[in-house]
Amino acid sequence: MTRVRVLIRPKAGILDPAGQAVERALPVLGFEAARNVHVGRLVELDVEDPSRVAEMCERLLANPLIEDYEIVDPAAATGA
């Protein structure tokens, strides 16, 4: 089994009120200069065949109309 991570975020250009709320909250705590904050989801899964994860994303894990997904290369993720 291979551990795969999928990062899902709102498509660029679609209003992301959750990201905006976080962006507005950061200066209140004294963190300046955070821009383009977006809030998404992380899906982790162990799979036999990582080549099928893109299809999983298209059909269930993401809604491609409103979300972009990024499949994180497992080898790169472990820093190998």
Partner 1 sequence: MRYGVVRFPGTCDDTDALLAAEQLGEAALLWHTDHDLRGIDAIIVPGGFSYGDYLRVGAIARFSPIMQEVERFAARGGLVLGICNGFQILCEAGLLPGALLPNVSLRFVCRQVELEVQRSQAKWLRGARPGDRLSVPAKHTTGRYWAPDPVLDELEAAGQVVLRYAAGHNLNGSARDIAGVCNHAGNVVGLMPHPEHAVDVLTGSTDGLKVLAAA
Residues making contact with partner 1 (CB under 8 A): 10, 14-15, 17-18, 21, 41, 60-61, 63, 65-66
Stretch (H or E) spanning 75: helix 74-77
15 or 29, CB closer to partner 1?
A: 15
Which of 69, 63, 55, 80 minimizes the C-alpha distance to 5?
69
* Burial status of residue 19 (CB atoms within 10 A of its CB: 0-12, 13-18, 19 or more): middle
Closest separation in Å from C-beta 76 to partner 1: 25
2 or 63, CB closer to partner 1?
A: 63
21 or 32, CB closer to partner 1?
A: 21
Closest separation in Å from C-beta 65 to partner 1: 5
